[in-house]
């Protein structure tokens, strides 16, 4: 049976009796098939699955974006029950950030480009809340979606640097049949925007196709993504990137593992996606 907890004290008491290992799935709610896949990974590998649902105000660079983030407690709890989650922590904001809270996790170079450049303060907010969640839950494993590839890298770096004992596990992006990556933000797309949104995947696959055909110029791969985005009038490309898979530095030549990624706006809704390029032997 899924137990819903609100306070740090309730969480601590439940965890004290929870069989180990513990698998943590941190979320901001409005759960979808991508989250379900993370819960299943945790359920398969861990004796206790803990899902946290908290729309973290500190990772939104714009108040309006925070305000319009979709929320439904009943819907989310029904999904957690279906997925046989053991514990759901749904704290009010003051349980995560008490009134005298005064600490930030300062993130380094990995958080600089791409989402970090487009959304100032975003990764500091993510790293701060994830550090709190890791400390409170003390899980052996934490599961994150590869759709947010840079987020996974920043969190993994933080966990290593701060010697946090939770292992960060990245899970494959879950997609709609037309290729659109599942995201809570898809909810905001109008029917026309929803029909246009698979352009992100098409752009990534166009660049991947060029790479498979032997193209190694980073700029040519970025241009291939831009060209596909330009063919979709509702899509406003924010960035396209072909970057080193370890440092996220933009590449002139692709000679090892790389990450293709992009951010695209459909009206006020901003979507991201990515595609890894394996190294020469991959």
Is residue 148 at the binding interface for ligand PAF, with CB under 6 A as the rule?
yes
Are residues 197 and 267 in contact, defined by beta-carbon separation less than 8 angstroms? no
Least distance (Å) between residue 27 CB and ligand PAF: 5
Q: H helices of the chain, where?
A: 8-16, 33-45, 63-68, 73-82, 93-96, 115-118, 122-137, 149-161, 191-196, 199-212, 218-230
Distance CA 240, CA 142 (A): 29
Whichever of 170 and 242 has its CB closer to ligand PAF, that residue is 170
Whichever of 66 and 223 has its CB closer to ligand PAF, that residue is 66
Q: ∠ CA 52-29-150 to the nearest 5 degrees?
A: 80
Is residue 173 at the binding interface for ligand PAF, with CB under 6 A as the rule?
no
Q: Which position among 88, 129, 205, 225 is part of the footprint of ligand PAF (CB under 6 A)? A: 129
Residues of this chain, 22-61, that bind ligand PAF according to CB under 6 A: 26-28, 56, 59
User: Dihedrals φ, ψ of 176, to 5°?
Assistant: -70, 160
Whichever of 42 and 224 has its CB closer to ligand PAF, that residue is 42
Of 125-133, 185-193, 223-231, 247-255, the segment contacting ligand PAF by CB under 6 A is 125-133
Distance CA 39, CA 26 (A): 10
Of 6-14, 110-118, 124-132, 213-221, the segment contacting ligand PAF by CB under 6 A is 124-132
Is residue 91 at the binding interface for ligand PAF, with CB under 6 A as the rule?
no
Is residue 126 at the binding interface for ligand PAF, with CB under 6 A as the rule?
yes
Distance CA 55, CA 108 (A): 23
Q: How, if at all, do strands 141-145 and 258-266 pair?
A: unpaired
Residues of this chain, 9-28, that bind ligand PAF according to CB under 6 A: 26-28
Alpha-carbon Rg for the chain, nearest whole angstrom, is 19
The answer to whether 188 is a known catalytic residue is: no
Least distance (Å) between residue 184 CB and ligand PAF: 8
Is residue 183 at the binding interface for ligand PAF, with CB under 6 A as the rule?
no
Are residues 153 and 248 in contact, defined by beta-carbon separation less than 8 angstroms? yes
Residues involved in catalysis: 35
Using CB under 6 A, list all residues that contact ligand PAF: 26-28, 56, 59, 126, 129-130, 148, 151
């Amino acid at each position: 049976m899924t137990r819903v907890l609100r306070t740090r004290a309730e969480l601590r008491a439940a965890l004290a009796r929870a069989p180990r290992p513990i698998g943590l799935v941190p979320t901001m709610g409005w759960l979808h098939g991508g989250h379900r896949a993370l819960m299943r990974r945790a359920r398969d590998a861990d004796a206790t699955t803990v899902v946290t649902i908290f729309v973290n105000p500190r990772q939104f660079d714009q108040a309006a974006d925070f305000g319009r983030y979709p929320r439904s407690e009943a819907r989310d709890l029904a999904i957690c029950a279906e997925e046989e989650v053991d514990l759901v922590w749904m704290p009010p904001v003051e349980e995560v950030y008490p009134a005298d809270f005064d600490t930030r996790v300062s993130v380094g170079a990995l958080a600089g480009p791409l989402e970090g450049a487009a959304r100032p303060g975003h990764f500091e907010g993510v790293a701060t809340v994830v550090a709190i969640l890791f400390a409170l839950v003390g899980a052996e494993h934490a599961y994150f979606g590869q759709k947010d590839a840079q987020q996974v890298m920043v969190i993994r770096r933080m966990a290593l640097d701060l010697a946090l004992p939770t292992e960060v596990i990245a899970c494959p992006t879950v997609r709609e049949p037309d290729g659109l990556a599942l995201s809570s933000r898809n909810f905001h797309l109008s029917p026309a925007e929803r029909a246009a949104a698979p352009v992100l995947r098409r752009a990534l696959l166009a660049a991947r196709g060029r790479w498979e055909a032997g193209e190694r110029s980073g700029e040519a791969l970025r241009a291939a993504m831009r060209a596909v985005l330009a063919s979709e009038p509702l899509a406003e490309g924010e960035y396209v990137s072909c970057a080193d898979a370890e440092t996220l530095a933009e590449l002139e030549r692709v000679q090892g593992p790389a990450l293709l990624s992009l951010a695209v706006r459909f009206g006020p809704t901003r979507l991201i996606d990515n595609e890894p390029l394996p190294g020469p032997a991959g």
